[in-house]
């Protein structure tokens, strides 16, 4: 039962974003470049975010869980919103409609879900190989 739930979880994280991307690009008749731009904003935000969090490892280990949650949430928000601002300000200057914003957001969140689902699938495959 747990195996089935795990597989459904990572498959959903991989398949659902792709289905949403296809659906909304067709429904809004907009370019896939907006989805790609959203995905790039997520990747760009993590280029500085992840090393900073790794560098704060010893500090975070010495603080309470609630303090960790607040710090990590604020850092994620700061880096991701800054990346989104830079992309909309300098790269997506002409993106003015809410439909374009939806596609960029789906690209951003979908890329995150896709990457996490891919890592979960790799971890599951590793577990299956290790246990067999």
pLDDT digit string, tens, across residues 14-61: 999 999 999 999 999 999 999 999 999 999 999 999 999 999 999 999
The pair of three-digit structure tokens given for residue 100, joined into one six-digit string: 């374009």
Query: Six-digit token pair at 58?
Result: 């010893």
Residue 110 near residue 17, CB atoms below 8 Å: yes
Domain ranges of the chain: 2-131
**Single pTM value for the model:** 0.87
Q: What is the dihedral of CA 92, 95, 96, 100, to 10 degrees?
A: -130
pLDDT digits (tens, 9 = 90+) for 72-122: 999 999 999 999 999 999 988 888 899 999 999 999 999 999 999 999 999
97 φ/ψ angles, rounded to the nearest 5 degrees: -90, 160
Q: How much is the pLDDT for 132?
A: 80
Q: How far apart are CA 23 and CA 95, in angstroms?
A: 19
Which positions ≥6 away from 106 have C-beta within 8 Å? 17, 20, 21, 24, 35, 38
- The span from the CA of 5 to the CA of 103, in Å, is 29
SS3 call for 97: coil
């Amino acid at each position: 039962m747990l195996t089935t739930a795990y597989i459904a979880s990572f498959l959903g994280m991989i398949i659902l974003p792709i289905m949403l991307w296809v659906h909304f690009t067709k429904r809004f008749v907009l370019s896939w470049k907006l989805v790609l731009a959203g995905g790039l904003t997520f990747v760009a935000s993590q280029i500085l975010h992840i090393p900073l969090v790794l560098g704060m490892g010893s500090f975070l280990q010495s603080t309470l869980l609630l303090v960790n949650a607040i710090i990590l949430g604020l850092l994620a928000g700061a880096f991701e919103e800054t990346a989104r601002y830079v992309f909309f300000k300098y790269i997506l200057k002409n993106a003015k409609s809410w439909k374009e914003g939806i596609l960029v957001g789906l690209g951003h969140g979908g890329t995150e879900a896709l990457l996490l689902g891919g890592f979960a699938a790799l971890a599951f495959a590793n577990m299956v190989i290790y246990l067999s």
